Amino acid sequence: MIEIINLHKKFGKLTVLDGLDLKIKKGGIFAILGPNGSGKTTLIKCLLGMVIPDRGDILLEGKSVLHAAAYRNNINYLPQIANFPSNLTVTELINMVKNLRPKPADEKPLVELFGLRPFLKKKLGNLSGGTKQKVNLLLTFMFDSDLIILDEPTTGLDPIALIHLKETIQQEKEKGKTILITTHIMSFVDEMADEIVFLLDGKIYFKGSVQQLKEQTHESNLEYAIAHLISKQDA
């Protein structure tokens, strides 16, 4: 489904992606992991066309996404930081995003699921971080798209919301969606991910299932396995 070929990106002198190659097949949950600054968000933003790569290509269903726009209609993206225009109300924001995307959306079950009804008429600037993240999730999941990209989806969520999030992700997976997740919460990965993509120094350092990773590193705990991967690099 997604094919990333020899992707290079520098910000000034800092090399973030250094000839990254990656293939992700359709269906399933993929966790993109890596230490801080390893290029996870940059990779995602390249995929979304928000960051323009210096070299390389990204193919989605066999078609290059560089300098295109329409393909984004088939991607639901959850940004890392829930920044919204602060003088809009939640309802206005939902309507606006719906208006901007030429496809049907159903926000009502999600409003109920995350308990957002009391906040619909409030301005986004007045909401707490957690509530904003719920709105963020709602905007992401209200569309029916084949590819779902979640950048740190768990930030600021209370345990109940977290459970609802996990349920939602599972439901989407069952519908045959491809889901990319970046996170630092290893338990979340352990529980959800079908496959792990580990980024280091702008390259894919490991790609495989959770089980494969544990076997390769001889660690039974995923957190330790990841730590092992990082330390081995340093040594």
Partner 1 sequence: MLKILKYSIYDLLRSRWSYIYFIFYLILGFVLLFLNTDIDKAIITLLNIIIVLTPLIGTIFGVMYYYNSREFTELLLAQPIKRKNIFLGQYIGVSLSLSLSLLIGLGIPFVLYGLFKSASIFDFVLLIVVGTFLNFIFVALAYNIALRTENKIKGFGFAILMWLMFAVIYDGVFMISLFIFNEYPLDKFALIATMFNPIDLSRILILLKLDISALLGYTGAVFQKFFGTSFGLLISLSVLTLWVLLPVWSIMHISGKKDF
**Interaction of residue 148 with partner 1, rule CB under 8 A:** no
Rounded to a whole number of angstroms, the minimum distance from the CB of residue 77 to partner 1 is 4
**Interaction of residue 163 with partner 1, rule CB under 8 A:** no
Q: Which is nearer to partner 1, 64 or 83 (CB)?
A: 83
Residues 63-92 that bind partner 1 (CB under 8 A): 67, 69-73, 75, 77, 79, 83-88
**Interaction of residue 37 with partner 1, rule CB under 8 A:** no
Q: Which stretch binds partner 1 (CB under 8 A): 42-50, 171-179, 202-210, 224-232?
A: 42-50
Q: How many residues bind partner 1 (CB under 8 A)?
A: 28
C-beta separation of 35 from 44 below 8 A? no
d(CA 205, CA 75): 26
**Interaction of residue 17 with partner 1, rule CB under 8 A:** no
Rounded to a whole number of angstroms, the minimum distance from the CB of residue 106 to partner 1 is 18
Q: Which stretch binds partner 1 (CB under 8 A): 20-28, 43-51, 170-178, 187-195?
A: 43-51
Rounded to a whole number of angstroms, the minimum distance from the CB of residue 76 to partner 1 is 9
Q: Which is nearer to partner 1, 86 or 187 (CB)?
A: 86
Torsions phi, psi for 107 (to 5 deg): -90, -15
Q: Which is nearer to partner 1, 99 or 231 (CB)?
A: 99
Q: Which is nearer to partner 1, 100 or 235 (CB)?
A: 100
C-beta separation of 161 from 134 below 8 A? yes
**Interaction of residue 235 with partner 1, rule CB under 8 A:** no
Residues 205-224 that bind partner 1 (CB under 8 A): none
**Interaction of residue 14 with partner 1, rule CB under 8 A:** no
User: Residue 44 corresponds to which amino acid?
Assistant: I
**Interaction of residue 129 with partner 1, rule CB under 8 A:** no
Looking at 100, 104, 118, 235, which residue binds partner 1 (CB under 8 A)? 100
User: Residue 23 corresponds to which amino acid?
Assistant: K
Question: 3-class secondary structure for the chain?
Answer: CEEEEEEEEEECCEEEEEEEEEEECCCEEEEEECCCCCCHHHHHHHHHCCCCCCEEEEEECCEECCCCCHHHHHEEEECCCCCCCCCCEHHHHHHHHHHHCCCCECCHHHHHHCCCHHHCCCEHHHCCHHHHHHHHHHHHHCECCCEEEEECCCCCCCHHHHHHHHHHHHHHHHCCCEEEEECCCHHHHHHHCCEEEEEECCEEEEEECHHHHHHHHCCCCHHHHHHHHHHHHHC
Residues within the interface to partner 1 (CB under 8 A): 11, 45, 48-52, 67, 69-73, 75, 77, 79, 83-88, 96-97, 99-102
